[in-house]
Structure 1
Amino acid sequence: MKIGVITFPGTLDDVDAQRAVRVGGNEAVALWHGDHDLQGVDAVILPGGFSYGDYLRCGAISRFAPIMTEVIEGAQKGLPVLGICNGFQMLVESHLLPGGLLRNDHLKFICRDQKLRIENTSTAWTSAFTKDQEIVVPLKNGEGQYVADADTIKRLEDEGRVVARYLDVNPNGSVNDIAGITNEAGNVVGLMPHPEHAVETLTGSGTDGLGFFTSLVEKTFA
């Protein structure tokens, strides 16, 4: 499959995401924030970093990048979209996912290996995992605290739309230890930790993140 990885000004993890796509057996296609062309890709990844310097609010400016018009329209039609860290922030700013990401409750940037539990394996990006599988992937953020109103949290929980949950420690104060969520259709996933940094044994914390980049081979939505 052809998976597009979008680079915005200030993006840091686009090359890592492209490599993870290739390690997962797919073709990586580099996309540019200023274009209006998704180049016929089968899925899109919004990678981590500090797009547009995180000015105004994380992801708030990126949401209006030219290529996001195509991403939003595609997602609404079933195109698989994965937002990692800053990409998760773009997805909530684009209203493709509910809620928001605030400054970590301890007001400090955090970088650590983080244990997660994968709770939803029916999405386009998590079908390679088994339900309640525990994995370890790197986490690095300063604005990773997931929040939403009580009704939204209840809906996410009742509908099984919490994709991943923090284990052992809640690193940023996210409600209900939420590390990632999905939309109703299961094609759009936002995740605060970084699975693209855990796809090879040579570096990082192992290969626990690889499932996010192999799942599309097993399950397609577009």
Structure 2
Amino acid sequence: MSAFRSAVITFPGSNCDRDMAVAVEQVCGGEVLRVWHGDAALPDRLDFIALPGGFSYGDYLRSGAMAARSPIMQAVVEAAGRGVPVLGVCNGFQVLTESGLLPGALLRNAGMNFVCREVALTVENNQSLFTAGYSAGQQITIPVAHHDGNYFADAETLDRLEGEGRVAFRYAEQVNGSARQIAGVLNAAGNVLGMMPHPERMIEPAHGGSDGRALFENLVRGLVTA
């Protein structure tokens, strides 16, 4: 495999794009390209695409709704359809649901409070490209920082996600009112992951822990052995 090549998308209001780029560069190596939301095309030969956290377009309409209509998102949807791994964190998760790459929606937190703290997660599925570096049932600690992280889907969709093993992470405690305490979900093909917690903020001891590091490490490992 040639050098790992990834892209981090920046929307107006993104505030974790640099954090994500630094994490990917430190853990995955290779070239990390910064892509503006208004671009119509992605760079050639990407191994990974990240949609970072923040408040795209100020969340003025609905979290992620305007970003999902940005020109670059058509290219992201097409890349995901070709099998390129796509990770959406926090606001990026909201964009993934609004663009139709993942089912469900992210609503206002129960209690209407902004939640900003470290939370315990349980790894529900360790068979995906993103989660194979963890053990099934492993408990990890990752920080959250969101006001609209309450994952919602109808009962039929939730049952399908559970039955197909597409719940990647679950909160080990009540955090924001998410249905079935879901913290992260995969698409049917397993190459798109949306999660509210921020793994890029937990990749080295200086961050207070490194439980997010395995997610990025396994991207490279999985693509090399694919």
Q: TM-score, normalised by structure 2?
A: 0.94
User: Alignment RMSD, CA only?
Assistant: 1.3
- What does the per-residue CA deviation read over 1:44-81, in whole Å, with 9 as the maximum and x for residues that have no partner? 00000000111110000000111101000111121110
Structure 1 position 112, deviation (Å): 0.5
Unaligned 5+ runs, structure 2: none
SS in 2 for 1:160: coil
The correspondence for 1:104, drawn from 100, 109, 130, is 109
Q: 2:38 aligns with which of 20, 34, 38?
A: 34
Q: Which residue of 2 aligns with 1:64?
A: 69
2:175 is aligned to: 171
Aligned to 1:192: 196
Provide the identity percentage: 49
Find out whether 1:154 has 2:150 as its counterpart. Answer: no
2:215 corresponds, among 187, 212, 215, to 212
Which residue in the other structure is 1:2 paired with? 5
Q: CA deviation at 1:43?
A: 1.1
Matching residue's letter, 2:147: G
CA contact (8 A) 1:4 1:44 kept: yes
Instruction: Check the 8 A contact 1:3/1:26 in 2, yes or no.
Output: no
Structure 1 residue runs of 4+, over 4 Å off?
none
* TM-superposed deviation, 1:193: 0.4
| Equivalent residue runs for 1:90-101 within 5 Å | 90-101=95-106
The letter of the residue matching 2:10 is T
Correspondences of 1:7-156 after superposition (within 5 Å): 7-27=10-30, 28-40=32-44, 41-156=46-161
**TM-score normalised by L of structure 1:** 0.96
Q: Which runs of 5+ in 1 are unaligned?
A: none
Task: Judge which range, 137-146 or 18-27, deviates more.
Answer: 18-27
CA positional deviation for 1:25 = 2.7
